Structure 1
């Protein structure tokens, strides 16, 4: 009995030592060392991630936020950057709002905008803590005051103007973000002295400018006024551009003569034909004299059209310089429009430059025939007149070489350039088109045509960006639609059936 108890006692004494020894040996294995190493690396990486997050969280929003939205809503456009690069005055963005509760998109954009130029700064002022600022600037809570400290002028922009909700032509709710356009237009007005007056012709059943264009006019600091060319013989002295927008009745011969005289003196005229089939023979003869003959039928294009609909044209952009400013895709949609063929101008010193054209597979479609060709949908005609030509003919033939050079310089400075811009239809800026296809650049093209008439300005009118999903515009799907709608799905089905059948037989 004693021997048995002694054996049990010896076993109990040796068991912990054996257990500890075996555990120690197991920790010395390769797998254990690798596991410990991996755990250490994991803990180290987690620690680094936490530290990096803490550091990044303290960075300004201009650095630690990336806009992944389709239209880059909170990014500053190149148009704004170009304007802000040339700033000489000091501009302050005073935001009357609680920074902690302000909409993230607005806050992010304001911070990025202020960081674009060293002449720009941002100041957040809580109107609850400082209510007097609202009275000082006649502003409301949740608004931005853009102030030029050099001139002490300022403009107030409400948050509701930056993020607004409306309805499209189909009564669908559309939310837009207009921070870029609102701020840049305000800065432009506060720093630029160049203002232009656009007169809209009246007396011929003209169409009303759509609200999207009048908004862009306001952003560009363009003033509009009405001019009845039927009752007015002389053009106003402050008129920088005469816009004839969608006339449905004809001009008189006297009006046409006044228009030609005005252009020859360096005036600028833009004619946008009505979307209706208006009977305006005098106006058509006027445009033909400048080298653009209006077609008798509507224009179709078998090559450049939307979804194979031949009368929904996506014309080629053939203009240069200012006419292509701010265009990324150069995609515009023009529906149910007439066109022009180019002829030799009967107006002296007139040069035609096409801006919008169909492909070679364009057609002038009438009830009787279809005529293939390349048709112009928009163009600018430049008329250069040298006002010193008569003086040159009567000048003394005995002129020294130096006098001749001086005379040539004077003649160049005395030359005037009139412009006639022609667009085939008001449908280019129809709101039911531009709102349905937000990726199109119709309004930008229209504003470029307007701006090209002014030598001292650029098109800084920036459209609001939609927060809704956009639709892609395919020029002419043709065989692609058959490929993706029929051939590929059918090939997938056949392949699946073959695989299933083989496996079943096996």
Structure 2
């Protein structure tokens, strides 16, 4: 009888302990679930910059310091109206807009579906799939086509029906639009025609447009000279020389405080009027094509990396080891200009192993400038600038599109806009979506190492291991 009572007591005690343990487990589980829910609610209020990370290979969500600094200093409220079906939009654009909105409390983003609210299109005077940026304080409006944000290879699409994305330009377009509604500055850039010039690449026109600088074409002879509203005149790789009247027009334009950018052609044909333009502003054109036997790429001395002098305003902000790549370039040396009021400085030069090569029997060694700027103060508020590059390779799309890590385009834009009053430095390039190509100054040793030495060593090691295992 006592044994039975003892068993019942033990059973009751065990049941009470199990009940307590179950209650404790249930309580702990409920507490953990509640903690997780509270943590998620708190986390949902944290900005995406701290909770989401850009794991894409191209870094399309990495917003530059240029935009961050600009948005931190906003003094007016700016609204971004996305006139499109949010559910049908590219998710990358939607996510970028969400991160962009967090840059400032004065930024706001709203989505309006024109299918549901068609009157919004007439309200802003735009088509569907458009981003409209407005500022109530200034009353201005800028627009960005959503189709322009993600670029694609047109040739691949039309010839091979293959849609290949090339770049993501959300940040550059949006920051430019925000600046556009806050400022009232705009400029006109003219590129000359009539001398078989190379047209500016579309990429360069887009960069100028982001700075509110429209690019037009002008024939100095047939259009009656340089237009009065010309902020900058670009002469890009002309094949034929200037007429005497055209030379006079450009010299007069400069003497009145104009800005000219001249990209020399990659040829040795004589062009005396262009040479007169250079010599007037203290630059003497070398006879041959420029090569550098110390700073070349892929064993080609004509494809070289000039040295950068960042003490000149045209290259300010760039390090002395900035990677700039030139090809088929002319060069020049600095001489005394026609007037003492003109100052000329080089900011891109070869090493002392530079050569001016006319042919196999005619070359001259020395340091040659391939980038220089001549300035002349006309009065207290006006300064004339003639910026000269040895070639258009600085902006050639075949070069800039092949090497993602070179500073060619940024340096060109820096030189082009140096000293401009009222210009906001918001020159943000599109993020490339293509596979980048890295540059190696001299590839010979590395090619031997990676193509022959390392693979050969691995093959020998593998063969030895195989022989040892076979003997076992």
Asked if 1:343 is matched to 2:335, the reply is yes
Distance 1:326 1:373, change over 3 A: same
Which secondary structure state, in structure 2, belongs to the residue aligned with residue 240 of structure 1? strand
Which secondary structure state, in structure 2, belongs to the residue aligned with residue 338 of structure 1? coil
In the comparison of the two structures, how many residue pairs are matched?
A: 447
Q: Equivalent residue for 1:75?
A: 62
Which secondary structure state, in structure 1, belongs to the residue aligned with residue 117 of structure 2? coil
Q: In the alignment, which of 78, 83, 94 is matched to residue 107 of structure 1?
A: 94
CA distance in 1, matches of 2:29, 2:298: 54
CA distance in 1, matches of 2:438, 2:281: 37
Asked if 1:429 is matched to 2:422, the reply is no
List aligned pairs for 1:211-230, cutoff 5 A.
Answer: 211-230=202-221
Q: Equivalent residue for 2:77?
A: 90
CA distance in 1, matches of 2:408, 2:155: 16
List aligned pairs for 1:123-138, cutoff 5 A.
Answer: 123-138=110-125
Q: Equivalent residue for 2:430?
A: 464
List aligned pairs for 1:182-221, cutoff 5 A.
Answer: 182-221=173-212
Q: Equivalent residue for 2:253?
A: 262
Distance 1:254 1:153, change over 3 A: closer
CA distance in 2, matches of 1:98, 1:259: 51
Structure 2: which 5+ runs fail to align?
A: 15-27
Q: Equivalent residue for 2:241?
A: 250
Distance 1:82 1:277, change over 3 A: farther
Distance 1:377 1:47, change over 3 A: farther
Asked if 1:305 is matched to 2:292, the reply is no
Point out the more displaced range, 319-328 or 487-496: 319-328
Which secondary structure state, in structure 2, belongs to the residue aligned with residue 366 of structure 1? strand
Which secondary structure state, in structure 2, belongs to the residue aligned with residue 353 of structure 1? strand
Distance 1:189 1:351, change over 3 A: same
> Deviation string for 1:114-168 (max 9, x for gaps)?
2112321112334444333233223444432211121332223232111232247
> Deviation string for 1:208-245 (max 9, x for gaps)?
22222222222211133444434678754322222222
Q: In the alignment, which of 411, 414, 417 is matched to residue 383 of structure 2?
A: 417
Asked if 1:370 is matched to 2:336, the reply is no
List aligned pairs for 1:373-452, cutoff 5 A.
Answer: 373-385=366-378, 413=380, 416-452=382-418
CA distance in 2, matches of 1:266, 1:501: 79
Point out the more displaced range, 325-334 or 87-96: 325-334
1:304 deviates by: 2.1
Asked if 1:476 is matched to 2:463, the reply is no
1:311 deviates by: 1.8
1:472 deviates by: 1.4
Contact preservation (8 Å) 1:168, 1:174: no
1:310 deviates by: 2.0
Q: Equivalent residue for 2:314?
A: 323
Q: In the alignment, which of 161, 166, 184 is matched to residue 153 of structure 2?
A: 166
Indicate the RMSD between aligned Cα atoms, in angstroms: 3.6
Distance 1:168 1:290, change over 3 A: farther
Which secondary structure state, in structure 2, belongs to the residue aligned with residue 215 of structure 1? helix
Distance 1:80 1:116, change over 3 A: same
Q: In the alignment, which of 138, 142, 145 is matched to residue 151 of structure 1?
A: 138
Distance 1:382 1:326, change over 3 A: closer
1:268 deviates by: 1.8
> Deviation string for 1:57-79 (max 9, x for gaps)?
66553432211334421222222
1:326 deviates by: 7.5
Point out the more displaced range, 373-382 or 271-280: 271-280
Structure whose CA Rg is larger? 1
